[in-house]
């Protein structure tokens, strides 16, 4: 991206600032594999899948690199955008590296994906996935681990594992039914049905749909907005809200009351509420 990108209270500028961000990136994330590229935009980090010759297919070093990235985020990073270089987000598991494994090795391999993606879903900061082109198999499982998904109109979604004689192993059985319903996931897996970007938006797979080429801009805008929230509120939304949604109502109400009390008692919340009451903070307006 070049030129100026305008976000609330922030400006990310190409040129000198971009070179400084690249220098910071090289020192902070030098241990990432070549299939991943990381950069900083103020308090937001961008992680890009960079195996364009493989349609950003996910191999073991890439998945391990994703885990490393999200488990070692610097404290000054408050949100992350994950995207793909080239024409696709990710075509899923790199089948060329699929080796014959015994049952235990297969379980361990799947669990390594679970561990990596759990660092996204239940990590330190909220994550936006920017989707375009193929979002297939493991690529869709990766996207499902993010908190917000932005799709460009070129995006399409598929779970072709059944036709390959394999089964999802990156958390798709858990996360995707919660997003779009078990019946739709069964349809995609049994028939090989592909969903368009528009269909994905309608069924709830994504929260935002933008024109081609606008995904990263929208993703960065949302990430900067989330980075400006109170840290405990972001933590509660990421870690407590999903568990409340999966619990019985009585337990959910108790957990909610505890989270509300903790948030209200936080010093930053008191400062923000005082600013609002003194009319120094903006009111909610129709967007």
Active-site residue list: 141, 161
How far, in Å, CA of 79 to CA of 217, rounded?
A: 14
Sign for the pseudo-dihedral over CA of 170, 155, 188, 166: negative
- Taking each continuous run of H as one helix and of E as one strand, the counts in the chain are 13, 11
- Measured over the CA atoms of residue 249, residue 251, residue 252 and residue 253, the dihedral's sign is positive
From the list 25, 62, 61, the residue with the least C-alpha distance to 45 is 25
In angstroms, the CA 285 to CA 73 distance is 33
Nearest to 234 by CA among 148, 137, 140: 148
- List b or e across 214-251, with b for residues whose CB sees 16 or more CB atoms inside 10 angstroms: bbbbbbbbbbbbbbebeebbbbbebebeeebeeeeeee
């Amino acid at each position: 991206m070049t030129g100026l990108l305008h976000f609330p209270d922030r400006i990310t500028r190409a040129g000198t600032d971009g070179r400084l961000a690249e220098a910071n990136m090289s020192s902070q994330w030098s241990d990432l594999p070549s299939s991943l590229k990381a950069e900083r935009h103020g308090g937001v980090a961008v992680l890009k899948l960079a195996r364009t010759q493989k349609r950003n297919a996910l191999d073991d070093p890439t998945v391990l690199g994703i885990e490393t990235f999200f488990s070692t985020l610097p404290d000054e990073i408050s949100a992350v955008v994950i995207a793909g270089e080239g024409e696709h987000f990710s075509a899923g598991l790199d089948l060329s590296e699929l080796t014959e494994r015994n049952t235990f090795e297969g379980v361990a391999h799947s669990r390594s994906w679970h561990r990596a993606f759990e660092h996204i879903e239940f990590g330190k900061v909220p994550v936006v996935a920017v989707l375009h082109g193929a979002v297939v198999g493991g690529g869709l499982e990766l996207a499902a681990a993010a908190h917000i998904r932005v799709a460009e109109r070129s995006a399409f979604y598929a779970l072709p594992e059944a036709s390959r004689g394999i089964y999802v192993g990156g958390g798709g059985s858990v996360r995707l039914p919660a997003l779009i319903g078990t019946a739709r996931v069964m349809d995609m897996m049994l028939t090989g049905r592909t969903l368009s970007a528009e269909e994905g938006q309608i069924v709830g797979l994504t929260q935002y749909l933008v024109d081609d080429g606008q995904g990263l801009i929208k993703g960065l805008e949302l990430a900067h907005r989330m980075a400006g929230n109170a840290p405990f509120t972001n933590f509660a939304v990421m870690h407590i809200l999903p568990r409340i949604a999966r619990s019985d109502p009585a337990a959910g109400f108790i957990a909610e009351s505890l989270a509300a009390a903790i948030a209200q008692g936080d010093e930053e919340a008191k400062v923000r509420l005082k600013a609002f009451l003194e009319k120094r903070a903006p009111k909610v307006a129709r967007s």
